[in-house]
Every structure is written in structure tokens, then in C-alpha cells.
Amino acid sequence: MPTATQSLSHTSVADLTASVLRGDYGDDPAQLHAVGAFWVRQSTQFPGTDTKYRNYYLVLRVESGFGGCCVERDQLDSVIAEELSGRSVAELLRDERTPVRIAALDAYLSLVRPHREAARAQVFMLPHGTPLQRAKARDQAIASLLRIEPGMRVGLIGVVNPLVDAIRAHGGICLPCDFNMQRTADGTEVAKDMAPVLAQADLVIATGMTLSNGSFDEILAATRARNIPLIVYAQTGSAIVPRFLGDGVAAVSAEPFPFSQFSADPTPIHLYRAEGFVAGDARVAA
């Protein structure tokens, strides 16, 4: 049985889930239960802007582990939080609803492979501060994983405007893709179809929400086939994505629950880099 310092190779999220159900990660998921289920509906709008971010989360607690999955507005009914507690992790991993499976897998892996025990993870503390200060620090942490050369085409699947700015500041060409955005803050048109982005990009940055909408496997397969780096910034699936590190994923900014927007106190982000992957400077000014 692999230890926390050993890794298994997986072709997809479904393959990882099957591995967990076989017991490859230790604790039997049939003997663990979701003792808590939460539905969170949250919005953010910073002063002086007209952009309102709307987020919807399913969060499951399994013993000391939490698993989070951000979903689209109508993807799940909020009553789900009243239904899922008490069910075994094994049952939840077989649920027909993708976000339920992702939240359960994330909770299980956060329990058996906690970030604090990961040799490759660098702890990056977000400072105490306002929502905007903490959001900027978080985006800077993600940007620290990037090494963008002038003229490099960077696919951004799940648009975060500070990352658009960071890509351009380094001379990169941003190829933004998002289901819920028409244009970036600087007016760049945002694509709905990620296939052309994946075909053109020299490097791809994706959000963990690609797990909840089922597109993560397609992105992973495309970047593997083209042998280009994939960097993931993950609230959703923060314990899942590191399982693909060095096997299609070059770097991860993993932010476990409770997420930065739910606290003003210092909270950790865990930065992972695959062996041999060189990125930028991970320091953040206080």
C-alpha cells in the first residue's frame, strides 16, 4: 500500500476514484462517513467595480477532512446539504452527480493525504486583511507558479482578471475561456469553447472548477498529448489535483476549505511544483 510520500499514476478522475474505492489510498471509504454537508451561496463585489462574482459550493466533512466543490448556479439544489450527511464515502463516490463525487473524493483525500504532510507542498500564508487584500495575495500566489516568456500563448480556463494582467505583464498572450464571462476587465473577448484554446496554448492555467463541470480530464489529456505545462488553481478539488502532479499537472495552487473569502485571518495555500518544473518567485509582500 502506498504511503503519503509515494504516488500512484492515474489517467483520469474516474481512475483515481476507482483507485480510492479499491483501497489503494489506505482507509476504506466504505467505513468513513460524511458527518457534515454544507451548501454555501456567496457573492463578492469589490468597491469601485461593476463585476459581481457569484459562487455556489458543496462542502463535505469526513472526520478531520473537508472537501469542497464549486458548482454552477443551477447544477445542484441546496437541499442536497440536508441529504448527504451520514452517507458513506464509498456511496458518495458512486453518486450519479459529478459535484457530489468530487466533494467526497476531495474530503477523503484531504483526510488521508493532508497537505501538511506533503513533501512537495510549500505553505504560503495569505495575510490578515480585507477581502480585496487577501484576493490580491491569493492571485499573486497563483501567479508565482508561472514562468511566462514574451510571446507565449497562455490558455486561461476560468478567468481571473489579475491573472490576465499577470500574463500580459510578462509579455504573454492571454487566451481566456470561461462559461460565465463575456469579456475580461480589459475588454478581451472570452471564448466559451476551450478546444481551440487547448490546441493553441503553450501553457494552460485552469481552475479546479473544471473538476465539477467534468472538463478536467479533457484538459489533462490535451496537455499531456501536447506535452505542455498545466497549472491548476484549486479551491475545488484542492486535495485531488496534486494526485496528478508530475503526471500531466506541472504545478498546483491548492487552497483547502475554509477558503480565503470566508476569513480575515491568515490562512494557508499550498503550492506544489512537479519535479523539474521551475516557476516564479513565491514571495508575497505583507
The predicted-structure confidence for 68-114, as pLDDT tens digits, reads as follows 999 988 899 999 999 999 999 999 999 999 999 999 999 999 999 99
The predicted-structure confidence for 208-246, as pLDDT tens digits, reads as follows 999 999 999 999 999 999 999 999 999 999 999 999 999
**What are the chain's domains?**
13-114 (3.30.390), 117-273 (3.40.50.11590)
Q: How far apart are CA 183 and CA 189, in angstroms?
A: 4
Q: How far apart are CA 193 and CA 186, in angstroms?
A: 20
For residues 233 and 207, is the Cβ–Cβ distance under 8 A?
yes
Q: Give the pLDDT band (50/70/90) at residue 7.
A: low
Rounded to two decimals, what is the model's pTM?
A: 0.91
- Measured in degrees and rounded to the nearest 5, phi and psi for residue 225 equal -60, -35
Is the bond into 258 cis (omega within 30 degrees of 0)?
yes
